[in-house]
Structure 1
Amino acid sequence: MVLLEKSRTWILVLGLVSACSQAPLRPAANDRLSDDSTGTIVKDENGDKNDPIVDEKPDNEQSTDPVDEKTDPKKPDPGKPDDPIQKDPVVIEPVEDANPTVVSKTLKTIAAPRALNPMKGFLPFSGEYPSFPHSMEFFYMPLNEVVKGKGNYDFTSFDRELDAIAKRKHQAVFRFYLHYPGKGHGVPQYLISDGLKMITYSEYGGGQMPDYTDARLFTALHDFIGALGKRYDGDPRVAFLFTGLIGHWGEWHTYPQPQAMPTEERQRAVLKDFDDAFAKTRVLTRKPAAFLKGMDIGLHDDSFAFETLPTQSWHFVKQLADTGLSDTWKTAPIGGELRPEIQLTVWDSPRPSDAESFDECLKQTRASWMIAHQIFGGITGSRKDAALKATASLGYDFAVEGVKVSKSATSWSVEMTIANRGSAPFYYDWLPEVGVGGTTSVVAASGFKLSSLMPGQKATMKVTVPLKKAETNKTLFFRIKNPLATGIPLRFSNEEQDKDTDGWLSLGSY
């Protein structure tokens, strides 16, 4: 009898998917805007598909302030193994059940986007900064810290930095450089010993930069980028990376000596090397250029809200328009740095004369994240309130509007309507998971492209949960799983988020 009773226990079968599913997968460039049978994209009937959705629920059903979220250590975090990379469940293709019982529910949304979500918002340089919510940290590294000789790479210091950031439950954004004004250069010593000429400059604190006409330098860069991609493409510790390397701070300029920059042909070759080396992890570069068309590379504005709006030829939005890259945000991320001089004052009233409107800059760029280190030094009062609102406004904002469950004796067919109320897409196709009656045994949704959900759009996600016996009064749970086990969970703008279990959206009992 004991064995018989055990055989009746309902179990969701877990399995392993391929190793690549552990990475923060990004979609193929030509698939990112396509529709499919299990992730239908629909235009918001009340507005243009590129305008954020405005929730018009009564005030008493909504929170109005951005949420400064911190993980509650007392809440359970079910299904998380000791391995920092989680194992994924078997993907079950949706199937239709005969004569199902259909139950529909409407979920409650919150008015304001959350101040803490992965792959978006403000971020500091790497370190402990608990005073302001963030999911990512940024760091520089000189190239010669890793490149010790021709084809000889030592990633010890680099891995140590990634591990430290992951231990703080964050994901990394990084940039390698060849010269950093005021701090010295990062040119590998073997190149200098082999005769690579170093050029002295005095701007920004001065230093030395390599002779960008030397072909040996670009052979070394080609080899390094290939090795970097082979080792770290799809690493869940990495959120985004800058192409870096070229120019002061790796920002692709040598101002006021533009003649010192490499030729356009060599710049294009470096960008192509990054595009070839990274098929999963998203790459961003500093300078909009027409030859970026056809490459799966995003852009970063390192003078955000200072030289962003198209009032001068060198401003970011003007360069996007002039190079035909204004729609880059639809398929590749926009990031950068809030200009350091205005990081604490850009929201003051009156605004500093040299600062641009943050909201207008966001509207015209669709940026998802910004380095803003000074904010993490103890911003308070009305400035902190404004910064919380601003960090929440960057990037995506997902809400589940409704759930329909078709129940039969052998399976539950679950359909969810998901809206993107933010200003940009989510640039990875992380795995959606549904749990029935708990969150330790889950089923993955197949065919759903989260990255194709544009601002102002809605999508229907479908998943079928197989059953051993008919089930009633079971609670459904849902999440988009961060492939870094220690990473910040992706949280929906719903009141039901974290209601029963941390990191999971409770969809109700059925």
Structure 2
Amino acid sequence: MIASQNDNNPSAGSAAPIIRAVQESHAGADDAAGASGAGARRRPMGRQMLDRLRRGRRPRFSALVVALIAVVSLATGFRACNCNRAWTEVSAAATPEANPLKGMMPFAPADASHSPGLQDNAPPYTMEWLTLPVSDVVTGPGTYSWDKLDAHLNAIASRGHQAVLRFYVDYPGRPSGIPSYLLTSHAVTTHEYTVNGNAPGQSLAPDYNDPEMMSMLTGFVSALGQQYDGDPRLAFVTHGLVGFWGEGHTFPMNGKVSGDNPSGENWMPSSANQNTLIDTWDGAFQVTPTLARYPSAETVKRGVGYHDDSFGYATMDTADWHFLPQLKQAKADQAWQQHPIGGEVYPGIQECSVRNPGSCMASGSNGGTVDINASIKATHASWLVDNWAFTTTLNGTERERAVQASAETGYDLAVARWRMRNGKVEVQIANNGVAPFYYNWNVEAVAINTSNGTEVGRTTLNGDLRKIEVSKTQTFSGQLPADPAGQNTILVRVVNPLESGQPLRFSSAGQDQTLPGYLTLGRTPTT
């Protein structure tokens, strides 16, 4: 809790301010004349007044009248202004189980017309993981249809959620995501394969270095950004596109000889083409955060976050190819301070990490340990995909583990204290989470008449949620109608731009007390 910083608050009924006002406002003419000579040192006016009183010299009547007027004016001014109103501390409360733009999430339904097949006691969540083939959008060279994507985004939004989006061209076990015009014309070379659960007639790996392929990909990314950057239905977008599942790798077809790759083929795009895609993503999205799978010199120069698709399994610093060591090697380990970190809990540990964490503690890659909560803190992760936790019946203990891990991700905003002076409301917001809030959502203050519940005033506060560093505070301020009689109750909220979206709740006492989605701060002080 932040200690109260009470300003000096003179009381209108106190004699001390009046005496000081008299002392500092008047001096006799003789003293003024005596101080006018060259090199003379002027004594403070209050000291001059005291000297006069000590010497028995009476100040002129006109000066006394002026002094009395000044005293009355000052006293009245103190009473009306009350400019030094003290801060009011706000008690802490438990971290909400779910909040927008953070936490664990399930898969969105493959069919936009279907509802998620989740368990009745599934943990609360605010986002859904949506993966789509590029062929759902790209209909020809430079032509696009957004109908399928919009159908998914609208369905997700209707459930009060926002989407984390990835597009792919090669998803093992699914039909190819390469646009049909490139397949039917054989404009791009493709590879059949049987690794990663794929079978003949299913997904195909394209030649990412083919100019036609690169033209399609960069054109698609630019068009996607033009159409959806800043769309409130979207929470985050991962770069996807390249490699198996859009995860940015083609293992085992990665240039190394192995049983699955006896010729040592490398199906990845060249470094130059990878950089071109990174630059295109960076230019296409200015509002909606995007995330890359692997850090590089190019990603570090761009405004991107990162996602770990083997989260908890190959995350910690126990092998040089794990997520954290790669971030450190690329000097991207502090990227979380401006750009989000996300990922998917590795499917092989989703069950044991919830049902019996001790049973999979030693199952991490390369002798590492599986510790989801430690991985969240170390990476400053804001969101994680964990479909198993939402589609399997959990007992009370298991559900609590999943809920706790979800709540520990991302930001955790709390109002530390507030005050109101002459209608100016100031709210100090703290971030007690592991990551910043990555959007500039508005913060509103509302005045409600306590007697009849009517809204008296509403204002958007000055400030930027993105600038609240972890374990730090920022003060937000704005103007509401003055309420000298103390008849109003002041509320504050963060405005989710998705009208159907879930409200952001503070970890503060008074949340949802007066209105759903609002934090009640208290009554306006009387003056």
After TM superposition, the score normalised by the length of structure 1 is 0.77
Amino acid at match of 1:359: N
User: What are the equivalent positions in structure 2 for 1:150-165 lying under 5 Å apart?
Assistant: 150-165=141-156
* Corresponding residue for residue 88 of structure 2: 105
Distance between the aligned counterparts of 1:346 and 1:439, measured in 2? 47
Q: Cα distance, 1:500 vs. partner?
A: 0.8
8 A contact 1:44–1:457 mirrored in 2: no
Q: Out of 289, 299, 308, which is 2:306 matched to?
A: 299
Amino acid at match of 1:476: I
Q: Cα distance, 1:458 vs. partner?
A: 1.4
* Corresponding residue for residue 350 of structure 1: 358
Determine which structure has greater relative contact order: mean sequence separation of CA pairs < 8 Å that are 6+ residues apart, divided by chain length. 1
* Corresponding residue for residue 98 of structure 2: 116
* Corresponding residue for residue 17 of structure 2: none
1:405-435 alpha-carbon deviations (Å, 9 max, x no partner): 113xxxx111112111111101001000011
* Corresponding residue for residue 383 of structure 1: 398
Q: Measured at CA, do residues 368 and 279 of structure 1 come closer, stay the same or move farther in structure 2, by a change above 3 Å?
A: same
1:464 aligns with 2:479: yes
Distance between the aligned counterparts of 2:153 and 2:222, measured in 1? 19
8 A contact 1:344–1:383 mirrored in 2: no
* Corresponding residue for residue 497 of structure 2: 483
Local SS of the residue matching 1:320: helix
Q: Out of 236, 241, 246, which is 1:250 matched to?
A: 246
* Corresponding residue for residue 220 of structure 1: 216
* Corresponding residue for residue 73 of structure 1: none
* Corresponding residue for residue 499 of structure 1: 513
Q: Measured at CA, do residues 44 and 213 of structure 1 come closer, stay the same or move farther in structure 2, by a change above 3 Å?
A: farther
Local SS of the residue matching 1:249: helix
Amino acid at match of 1:350: G
Number of corresponding residues = 410
Local SS of the residue matching 2:187: coil
Select the structure that is richer in strand.
1
User: What are the equivalent positions in structure 2 for 1:236-315 lying under 5 Å apart?
Assistant: 236-258=232-254, 259-315=266-322
* Corresponding residue for residue 445 of structure 1: 461
1:148-195 alpha-carbon deviations (Å, 9 max, x no partner): 111111111110000000000000111110110011210011122152
Q: Measured at CA, do residues 178 and 439 of structure 1 come closer, stay the same or move farther in structure 2, by a change above 3 Å?
A: farther
Local SS of the residue matching 1:201: coil
8 A contact 2:457–2:481 mirrored in 1: no
* Corresponding residue for residue 234 of structure 1: 230
* Corresponding residue for residue 27 of structure 1: none
Local SS of the residue matching 2:139: strand
Local SS of the residue matching 1:477: strand
Q: Cα distance, 1:249 vs. partner?
A: 0.5
Moved more, 322-331 or 449-458: 449-458
Local SS of the residue matching 1:433: strand
1:429 aligns with 2:440: yes
* Corresponding residue for residue 137 of structure 1: 128
Amino acid at match of 1:465: L
Q: Out of 371, 380, 384, which is 2:385 matched to?
A: 371
Local SS of the residue matching 2:430: strand
Q: Out of 426, 432, 455, which is 2:470 matched to?
A: 455
Select the structure that is richer in helix.
2
* Corresponding residue for residue 18 of structure 1: none
Local SS of the residue matching 2:487: coil
Amino acid at match of 1:195: A
* Corresponding residue for residue 36 of structure 2: none
1:256-309 alpha-carbon deviations (Å, 9 max, x no partner): 011110011101111111110101111011112121122111000000100001
* Corresponding residue for residue 362 of structure 1: 376
Q: Cα distance, 1:380 vs. partner?
A: 2.0
Q: Cα distance, 1:459 vs. partner?
A: 1.5
Distance between the aligned counterparts of 2:316 and 2:181, measured in 1? 43
8 A contact 2:209–2:273 mirrored in 1: no
Local SS of the residue matching 2:215: helix
Higher Cα Rg: structure 1 or 2? 2
* Corresponding residue for residue 178 of structure 2: 187
8 A contact 2:123–2:402 mirrored in 1: no
8 A contact 1:288–1:320 mirrored in 2: yes
1:168 aligns with 2:159: yes
Local SS of the residue matching 1:402: strand
8 A contact 2:410–2:437 mirrored in 1: yes
* Corresponding residue for residue 416 of structure 2: 401
Distance between the aligned counterparts of 2:523 and 2:82, measured in 1? 20
* Corresponding residue for residue 49 of structure 1: none
8 A contact 1:103–1:406 mirrored in 2: no
After TM superposition, the score normalised by the length of structure 2 is 0.75
Distance between the aligned counterparts of 1:161 and 1:439, measured in 2? 36
Displaced runs of 4 or more, over 4 A? 438-441
8 A contact 1:135–1:169 mirrored in 2: yes
State the identity as a percent.
36
Distance between the aligned counterparts of 1:349 and 1:260, measured in 2? 37
Local SS of the residue matching 1:246: coil
1:327 aligns with 2:319: no
Distance between the aligned counterparts of 1:325 and 1:44, measured in 2? 32
Local SS of the residue matching 1:293: helix
Q: Out of 431, 435, 459, which is 1:420 matched to?
A: 431
Moved more, 262-271 or 187-196: 187-196
* Corresponding residue for residue 90 of structure 1: none
Local SS of the residue matching 1:245: coil
